[in-house]
Structure 1
Amino acid sequence: MHRPDMNEVVGRDDLLLLTLDTLRYDVAAELAAAGELPNLSACLPDGEWEKRHAPGNFTYAAHQAIFAGFLPTPATPGPHPRLFAARFAGSETTADGTFVFDSPDLVGALADRGYHTVCIGGVGFFNKQGALGNVLPGLFAESHWEPDFSVASPHSFEAQVSRAEKVVAELPVEQRLFLFLNASALHQPNWFHLPGATRETGDNRETHAAALRYIDRHVGRLFDAMRSRRRCFAIVCSDHGTAYGDDGYTGHRLGHESVWTVPYGHFFLESSA
């Protein structure tokens, strides 16, 4: 995947980081190959997800790493130069074109470069309902969470995108934006995204796939909002996968291939302004 010079991107373009929480690589790749993700595939390089390894095996760990500059790593022998990196001695993945920052996290570094930083939360680690649920949103100048964004809502992604549209519409045109959105729809429970499924039958790869198709139906609105002011550099990836009985494993925060292997893509959304 082409790696742009992030020292040119940062300060020039708006930035979008969309984490599709819990999305498995195999399900994402199968749907893209079958033509069932028209909106995502239209933006992904060659219409395909890149296979990568997650920086953590559950949401909190993965996002702490991501916000420190450790995006999912290409699933081939490295080292692989990174887009973003905190400055520290001995880094083997900081290269020409890496945006190097002195702040403790990428969010703060972008704020220092004049970006308005916005978090639209999804899963419980972003719900701001307790000390732990405030840690990740607390990195941002502006953060949003409501029950309609949560894993329990069948309409979570639509609600999150509507909030993103409102954020973009209210921001002065000259203000650069870094928008982070954690999509909760793929996380269990996701059975309600598959017509005919019931709470009793529960979640499986098929309901997981249905949740991704649901996200694809609405992601175009998010992309349109982010390109409405100027060109936007977008990163769309999973933070970790999840197991549905694979080798006897269920869930995540465990060391199975279904958890560690994730889809990734980055691309420019050309301005519609």
Structure 2
Amino acid sequence: MSLVANQIVCITGSSRGIGRACAIEFAKHGAHGLILHYYGDAETEADVQSLRGQLESSTLRIITVSGDIGDPATSTKIVDAGISAFGRIDVLVANAGICPFAEFLTMPHAIWEKTRQVNLDGSFYVVQAVANQMKTQIPQGGSIIGISSISALVGGELQCHYTPTKAGILSLMQSCAVALGKYGIRANAVLPGTIATDLNKEDLSDLTKREYMIKRTALKRLGAPDDIAGPVVFLASDLAKYVTGASLLVDGGLFVNLQ
């Protein structure tokens, strides 16, 4: 079933993890064009080009755009490249994020600044830039999905810098739903639970902690990136055409499992 047939989809932080899984899922469901943003170092460059080689076909064109998402110029660059290649952007997945685990009392302010710049500032910049383009696409509008986190709802000892940014993304999507609805633009948040990605690879290498997180999850397994990609494609599609301002918790039952 082609849920996003002929759609032009922009994904930030697409070289690995959830962003990469989303690109694969959008390709599977009929996207016509992908705008894949990545950070731009040698490792993410190699990853995004391998993804491009894997997915690009006669029916799917892919462009790649590098840059620090915490710099507003990167969002302008993303939109300009997308419009030059495709003439429009139908879907934005604001996914790029970092989580350098750190103790609160000794956390250097530079870690707080960088985490906020990438996660929250970067989301704001790209959502604003893409929404301004989508506004011109009336009556077509568009769909914006912000990748928040279960951490928007609960705390974490080593995440005092991270959880506020994810709560901010949730709030951003709620307010954007109100601000952009008149332009036919929907804005929703997806809140992943514990997903095994490079973001938390080191943290989950502690086998005791890993087993604890698995036990806490009702489905008794950690999430995988493609567990998030399906709900993202749903929110982008016409199956969710009356869904805006929503927050979709995709956590395998972690949040509700108190005992």
Q: TM-score range by the shorter chain?
A: 0.3 to 0.5
Instruction: From the two aligned structures, give the one with the greater strand fraction.
Output: 1
TM-score, normalized by length of structure 1?
0.41
TM-score, normalized by length of structure 2?
0.42
